[in-house]
């Protein structure tokens, strides 16, 4: 899957009005290359619309943005830590469901027709057409963004994750206007030998610099070999560090199972089944905590069906500190 993604991304090495489409479409290419299903009808409709991105006019030298990544308390902690380091209070929240404006770029359509079908993209016909429609939609969005008047005075731009489409478009936009761009580390990648879809955030780093947590994570980025050393800057760990004492189990053994995100949903269910099958043999107290990106109510029902406790905390630290676990 990973090799297919790399091949398809290389095939999509296209520049439109200075915007690197392989950067912008990298996550979409990965999703389709890894076999994720997408709605053809929705993408067909979107070719006649552009996503409205209005650059805010804050009285700051640095603009921070948070993409449409759901209600993630941990993500907010990361970006607000970076903002506090440079005394910035304002944040540009790229909407979850941004306003769509009718826009069909004839120039973009011609460019896409001429360039896309030359590419030897290793995808089924339906997935290939979805990628074609996605490219048209992003080009419409680029065209609309370019019509924005330049009234801002930012010297630096820091996205939460410039590897993903909307913030990638904004990152390209600012670099074209000679603004230095940054993005934030928000996780540790740990599948170097069996690359998962998460690796897109390492393979696709359009920003001038990535701000990582410390020497260890910098060394990990360098070990993967996908990010040039000059692009990596250490900005500090965004969460409070606690010195923990050795944990002593008293009474029943308690387990907090942290479900992984949607792409690993099948694995989550399998592990829950395994844990449940042990309840009659081992005296354990089990609590299920879903990943913030999962269907919370679905996992609540699954937990109930297996007779397991359920904890809907906003963060892992809250769960661990809770007296309910």
CA atoms of 239 and 257, how far apart (whole Å): 22
- Average of pLDDT values for 54-66? 93
Domain boundary among 88, 119, 148: 148
Q: Tell me: do 142 and 228 sit in the same domain.
A: no
**How confident is the model at residue 298, as a pLDDT?**
92
Question: Could you tell me if 189 and 213 lie in one domain?
Answer: yes
CA–CA separation, 107 and 114 (whole Å): 11
- Give pLDDT tens digits for 244-281: 666 666 777 888 899 888 878 889 999 999 988 888 78
Q: What is the pLDDT of residues 164-217, one digit of tens each?
A: 899 999 999 999 999 999 999 887 766 666 666 667 777 778 899 999 888 888
Whether 247 is in a domain gets the answer no
Judgement on whether residues 106 and 186 belong to the same structural domain of the protein: no
In our burial notation (b when 16+ CB lie closer than 10 A, e otherwise), range 288-322 reads: bbbbbebeeeebeebbeebebbbbebebeeebeee
The pLDDT, as a whole number, for residue 247 is: 63
Each residue of 270-314: pLDDT tens digit? 999 998 888 878 888 889 998 887 888 999 999 999 889 888 766
**pLDDT tier at 100 (50, 70, 90 boundaries)?**
confident
Phi-psi region of 236 (alpha: psi -120 to 50; beta: other; left: phi over 0): left
Structural domain includes residue 125 = yes
Per the structure block, which two tokens stand in for 111?
Answer: 């460019």
Domain total of the chain: 3
For residues 92 and 124, membership in a common domain is answered with no
- Does some domain include residue 257? yes
Q: Which residue(s) pair with 257 in the sheet? A: 288
Q: Which of 7-16, 54-63, 73-82, 240-249 has the lowest mean pLDDT?
A: 240-249
Specify the pLDDT at position 160: 92
The boundaries of the domain holding residue 296 are 253-321
Q: How many CB atoms lie within 10 A of CB 37?
A: 10
How is residue 198 annotated by DSSP? G
Lowest-pLDDT range of 108-117, 147-156, 236-245? 236-245
Q: Are 179 and 155 in contact (CB under 8 A)?
A: yes
Q: Are 26 and 14 in contact (CB under 8 A)?
A: no
What share of the chain in percent tops pLDDT 70? 90
Q: Are residues 179 and 207 in the same domain?
A: yes
Q: Rounded to whole angstroms, how far apart are CA atoms 220 and 190?
A: 9
Residue 65 pairs in a beta bridge with 92, 159
Both tokens of residue 47? 């070719």
């Amino acid at each position: 899957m990973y090799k297919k993604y790399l091949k398809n991304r290389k095939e999509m090495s296209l520049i439109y009005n200075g915007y690197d489409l392989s950067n912008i479409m990298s996550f979409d290419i990965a999703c389709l290359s890894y076999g994720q299903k997408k709605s053809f009808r929705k993408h067909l409709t979107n070719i006649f619309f552009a996503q409205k991105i209005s650059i805010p006019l804050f009285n700051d030298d640095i603009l921070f943005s948070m993409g449409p990544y759901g209600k993630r308390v941990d993500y907010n902690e990361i970006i607000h830590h970076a903002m506090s380091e440079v005394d910035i209070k304002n944040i540009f929240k790229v909407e979850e469901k941004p306003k769509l404006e009718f826009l069909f770029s004839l120039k973009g359509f011609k460019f896409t027709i001429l360039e896309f079908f030359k590419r030897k993209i290793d995808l089924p016909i339906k997935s290939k057409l979805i990628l074609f429609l996605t490219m048209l939609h992003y080009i419409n969005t680029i065209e609309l963004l370019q019509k924005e008047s330049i009234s801002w005075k930012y010297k630096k731009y820091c996205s939460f994750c410039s590897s993903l489409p909307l913030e990638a478009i904004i990152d390209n936009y600012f670099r074209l206007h000679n603004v230095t761009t940054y993005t934030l580390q928000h996780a540790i990648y740990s599948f170097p030998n069996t690359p998962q879809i998460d690796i897109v955030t390492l393979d696709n780093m359009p920003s001038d610099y990535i701000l990582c947590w410390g020497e260890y994570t910098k060394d990990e980025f360098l070990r993967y070999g996908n990010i040039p050393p000059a692009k990596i800057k250490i900005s500090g760990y965004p969460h409070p560090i606690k010195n923990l004492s050795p944990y002593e189990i008293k009474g029943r053994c308690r387990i907090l199972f942290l479900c992984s995100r949607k792409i690993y949903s099948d694995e989550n269910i399998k592990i829950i089944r395994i844990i449940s099958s042990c309840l009659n043999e081992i005296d354990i107290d089990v609590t299920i905590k879903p990943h913030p990106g999962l269907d919370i109510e679905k996992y609540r029902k699954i937990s109930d069906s297996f007779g397991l406790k359920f904890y809907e905390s906003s963060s892992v630290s809250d769960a661990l500190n809770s007296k309910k676990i």
